[in-house]
Structure 1
Amino acid sequence: MAQMKLEIGGRSFMVTCQDGEEAHLTKLAAMVDGKARESGDPAGLTESRMLLFTSLLLADDLHSAQGSAAAPAEASAPAKPDPMDEQAIAALEKLADRAEQLANSLE
């Protein structure tokens, strides 16, 4: 397992990943960081709020992508799911779960 330091929304996070997955995780972290910065001034938000808003923005993007892909997919034969998409979805679900846990701990 590889240990990595990720920067998201101006904050550092230490994570582990499978050996060889570092580049992919770096790309995912860059996507999350971009959304964190879109959600407003990350410095003005608590970590849990930043992660919550970020996960909501990413979930909205995912929902839109799934909705726009649904119409053409119905007309054609079902395609095999892209493993990269599945990994991104899994990472987003973990991020959303973590944000929800952090938000609940603040209540």
Structure 2
Amino acid sequence: MTKVRIKVGPRQYSIACGPGDEEKVARFGKLIDENYAKLGTARAAQESENVVFAALFMADELDEARTALGDARTELAELHRELQAARDDLANATRHASERSEEDKARAGGKKAELRAEIETLRKAEERARMDNAALKAEIAALEEQARHQHDLFGGPAEDAALSEALAEKLEALAARAEKTASELEGRAEPS
């Protein structure tokens, strides 16, 4: 045990303490002396009463510190709850965003497959239209050839008029089919 000398008011005290506690005891003695000095001219006749008043000042400061510490702990707990709520909100928002992203990907994939199928349908329709067009051209060529031979065989103007009328009907039918095919292709190519 070591001893530390402290001064409180007009008196000196020798305080026993454990090794390494000397500085702490000296600091506490200085704190008591500062509170003793707060008495000023209102000191009591008995020195022990003055020390008790100094201790009461310190007890008041300690009580205020404990109250402030309690308030700080309450506020810290509230802040901790708010922080946890914010973390939960962030986690929920992240989860919802991820779910929406997956849904958007799935919808985009479905739409992509749908568009591919439509493109394939349009390609097939275009191929059919080309084949129909080629067949109609061949038919027109055959009719023209027939018309030339009939004119050569029979050579009359009435036959020429009938042949021209049949040819005109075939051409109109071809034009109508071409317009219908073009309309179908345009209708399928428009985005939905």
TM-score of the superposed pair, with normalisation by structure 1: 0.64
Cα shift readout 1:23-65 (whole Å, capped 9, x = no counterpart): 1111111111000011224876422111110011000001111
- Written as runs of structure 1 = structure 2, the 5 A alignment for 1:13-28 is 13-28=13-28
Say if 1:42 and 1:50, in contact at 8 Å, map to a contact too. no
Unaligned stretches of 5+ residues in structure 2 = 78-192
Q: Which has the higher helix share?
A: 2
1:11 aligns with 2:38: no
Task: Name the structure 2 match of 1:51.
Answer: 51
Q: Secondary structure at the match of 1:76?
A: helix
TM-score of the superposed pair, with normalisation by structure 2: 0.37
Task: Name the structure 1 match of 2:2.
Answer: 2
Unaligned stretches of 5+ residues in structure 1 = 78-107
Structure 2 CA distance for partners of 1:41 and 1:16, relative to 1, 3 Å: farther
- Cα displacement (A) at 1:69: 1.6
Aligned length: 77
Say if 1:9 and 1:42, in contact at 8 Å, map to a contact too. no
Structure 2 CA distance for partners of 1:14 and 1:43, relative to 1, 3 Å: farther
- Written as runs of structure 1 = structure 2, the 5 A alignment for 1:1-107 is 1-41=1-41, 45-76=45-76
Q: CA RMSD in A?
A: 1.9
- Cα displacement (A) at 1:76: 2.7
Runs of 4+ in structure 1 displaced over 6 angstroms? Answer: none
Q: State how far apart, in whole Å, the 1-side matches of 2:10 and 2:25 are.
A: 17
